[in-house]
Amino acid sequence: MEYKHQAAFEYPSNTRSGCRSDIRFRPVAESMVLFPSLLDGLARTVSIKKGRKSQKDAGKEAAEALAKDARKNELMLSSSGVVKSNKSNNLASVCSKRGQKGTNQDSLVVWEEFGCQEDMIFCGIFDGHGPWGHFISKRGEHLVIANVGDSRAVLATNDDDDGCLVPLQLTIDYKPNLPEEAERITQSSGRVFCLRDEPGVFRIWMPDGKTPGLSLSRAFGDHCVKDFGLISEPEVTRRSITSRDQFVILATDGVWDVISNQEAVEIVFSTPDREKSAKRLVECAVRAWKCKKRGIAMDDISAICLFFHPHHLKKLPLVISTIKGRNSQKDTGKEAAEALAKDARKKELMLSSSGIVKSSKSDNFTSVCSRRGQKGTNQDSSVVWEGFGSQDDMIFCGIFDGHGPWGHFVSKKVRESVPSLLLCNWQENLALTSLGMDFEVDLDRNLHQFDIWKQSYLKTYAAIDQELKQHRKIDSFFSGTTAVTIIKQGENLVIANVGDSRAVLATISIDDGSLVPLQLTIDFKPSLPEEAERITRSKGRVFCLRDEPGCLQGLDAGRSFGDHCVKDFGLVSEPDVTRRNISSRDQFVILATDGVWDVISNLEAVQVVSLTSDREKSAERLVECAGRAWKCKKKGIAMDDISAICLFFHPSPSPQTDPPLIISSHDERFLKQSSSPQLL
């Protein structure tokens, strides 16, 4: 939509493999080409007995009366804002921002209950020099799309293969170099070529090659080249809306010049408040202009986001803001994440005490149990969040083992802070990476999903540890907590560990089919070579007391939250973040504090859980076994707090259909021991 002296955007490629969008819709009736024509047909107030001229005037007057009434009833919007329908699931978010070229030449309109039809909505966006533009009319489950120029309509739909949200471009960007457009222009004696200083930017010119240098082949107005191939004829297509289709974005090239279809869909989808989705997209486009087109005057930027279905909190907080400062930016994302956490607790998808969490949308099943030891207040904390961040395929589990006078307060504070802040940082990093921007976040645009999680964990844990240091009501100078967490995202596990709590995976051996343990985390003890080296470099000391051979003096973990008295001497809160792809052989994972691992081996823990017939009691059974083992193996020593989470990946096997696991000789011995009074 640019003249010769302004920057123009080349014809975009489709989001899949760099190919042009394959748009194949059946054309609708030729009469449905212009806004007045649609209204004339809907008004239904035209008398057939009147003459043709009176009929046309009556239809126009009736249509204008309907429009006036719609504005009065707040069903029509011609500026930034929101249009909600009381009679359908439609919600339209609208935003427009002036560029750096003078007056904002973009115009837009949304008309809910178009023509007094409850199941219809009209959305239009027009990018002047004209105006010219495109519109969408939705009636029931049908979309009618009309396009003139290079504004664009993009549909967000769930992919058939993996269910991911993908973009589908509904319109063609009508550039002069498109074969059909170029042929029409040249047949009309118009010319299409690029300037030397604009390689790849094709423009339409009059035969003399001097004016006007228009970078699109269809537009309203521009009558100087209407005799030389420029037309205002719209391409009109249609689409039946399915349950997979989520929303459609209409935007001017001020958006599409700097943001891809996929990026736009991700921005809108990840905005927690739908009413602000268009504003968020416009703000991201402004940022992208400053980053990608430095030195070029920013174009006007306008967008309409039309949602088809009710809001089910499928969004995650996106915290890219160009208007607010960075502190407000963080607060916005954090508040949105905390709202999701609050909603999860309300729907019993989040558990912070002993119990179970079942998922109705996945095979995940989680059992949780915690038992106070003999040292006073239970300083262990745990959390399970099924549908983490309102994503059906995600679950978050965490175990936190507090220590010191304020250890129980520290562990609870970390438990409350980690999920929501991690979610906020992950979504921010994910959005910035997808946009290819570097806004104070050191991310490579090609980072793998795991790398984004890792960066998010590092940022989250550093922020929480700093918050603890400055906390007015919690004294973490001589108190702290360990933390081991896992995120299951589809068939992927992300594990983060600080301290000596542990995550152990139960998997079926390839060799003999027996159930074997695989430790997913490292117990970060000060005696580990890397930990000891870091501590001694920081002038800390590592040694054992005479009456505690093998037990190190002072803090017996090389990493923890809090404990700021030794943070200058080698203690860190940096998590070790790893990943694993879950296979069909992997059965469940155990997260537990050292109250379990001090007295029960990995193999024993796996067998206790696997041999518990009722999965709901698996964590409780493991905790009980650990309690018995403490009395047997550590007589005279006060029992530590004992906590465990058991996360199962697959449905409970049916005895009639599923063959039993092979039990090794060691397992048989342990089975006998676990049934004895000593352990149970």
pLDDT tens string 108-129: 777 776 766 766 777 777 776 5
Exposure string over 313-331, b if 16+ CB within 10 A, otherwise e: ebbbbbbbbbeeeeeebbe
Q: Count how many residues are written for the chain.
A: 680
Rounded CA separation 91/112 (Å): 9
Looking at residue 290, its amino acid is: K
Going by pLDDT thresholds of 50, 70 and 90, the confidence category of residue 345 is confident
pLDDT digits (tens, 9 = 90+) for 244-265: 888 999 888 889 889 999 999 9
Residue carrying structure tokens 């930027």? 301
Look at 79 and 490; give whichever has higher pLDDT: 490
**DSSP annotation string for 266-292:** HHHHT-SSGGGHHHHHHHHHHHHHHHH
> 74-307 with 326-524+577-674: one CATH topology?
yes
Number of Cβ atoms within 10 Å of the Cβ of 667? 20
Alpha carbon distance 441, 425 (integer Å): 10
Task: Kindly state the tokens that stand for 9.
Answer: 């955007």
From 336, 277, 256, select the one nearest 92 (Cα to Cα).
277
pLDDT recorded at residue 592: 97
How does the average pLDDT of the chain come out, rounded?
77
Query: Strands, E, within 190-251: which ranges?
Result: 191-193, 203-205, 212-214, 235-240, 245-251
Residue 403 CB partners (closer than 8 Å, separation 6+): 379, 479, 480, 481, 482, 555, 560
In SS3 terms, 194-206 reads as: CCCCCCCCCEEEC
What is the DSSP code (8-state) at residue 572?
Answer: B
Pairing mode, if any, of strands 355-358 and 350-351? unpaired
How far apart are the C-alpha atoms of 654 and 81, rounded to whole Å?
Answer: 55
Judge whether residue 674 has pLDDT over 80: no
pLDDT of residue 11: 30
Is residue 42 scored above 70 in pLDDT? no
pLDDT of residue 135: 52
Position with higher pLDDT, 280 vs 669: 280
CATH of domain 326-524+577-674: 3.60.40.10
Q: How many CB atoms lie within 10 A of CB 206?
A: 16
**Helical H segments across 378-447, by residue range:** 407-435
Q: Are 497 and 522 in contact (CB under 8 A)?
A: yes
Chain segment 8-37, per-residue pLDDT in tens = 323 333 333 333 233 223 333 333 334 444
What are the structural domain ranges in the chain?
74-307, 326-524+577-674
Mean pLDDT of 79-105: 72
Q: Which stretch of 353-362, 374-383, 561-570, 612-621 has the lowest confidence by average pLDDT? A: 353-362
Query: What is the reported pLDDT for 52?
Result: 47
Please answer whether residues 425 and 330 qualify as being in contact, where contact means their C-beta atoms are separated by less than 8 angstroms. Answer: no
Non-local (6+) Cβ contacts of 103 within 8 A are none
Confidence (pLDDT) at 126: 78
167 CB burial (10 A radius; 0-12, 13-18, 19+): buried
For 273-303, how does the pLDDT look when each residue is reduced to its tens digit (9 = 90+)? 788 888 989 999 998 888 888 888 888 888 8
- 174 conformational bin, left if phi > 0, alpha if psi -120 to 50, beta if neither: beta
Tell me the pTM: 0.55
Over its C-alpha atoms, the chain yields an Rg (Å, rounded) of: 31
For residue 314, the model assigns a pLDDT of 41
More confident residue, 212 or 317: 212
Tell me the pLDDT tens digit for each residue of 530-562.
Answer: 988 998 888 888 777 655 554 444 577 889 999
- Alpha-carbon distance 177 to 155, whole Å? 25
Instruction: Give the per-residue pLDDT at 190.
Output: 87
Instruction: Please name the residues in contact with 321: beta carbons below 8 A apart, sequence gap of 6 or more.
Output: 283, 328, 329, 332
**Alpha carbon 207 to chain centroid, angstroms:** 51
Of 312, 159, 306, which Cα lies nearest the Cα of 247?
Answer: 306
Class of domain 74-307: alpha beta
Nearest-angstrom CA–CA distance, 5 and 212: 10
434 pLDDT tier (thresholds 50, 70, 90): low
pLDDT of 43 > 50? The answer is: no
* pLDDT of 627 higher than 60: yes
What letter does residue 573 receive in the DSSP assignment?
A: -
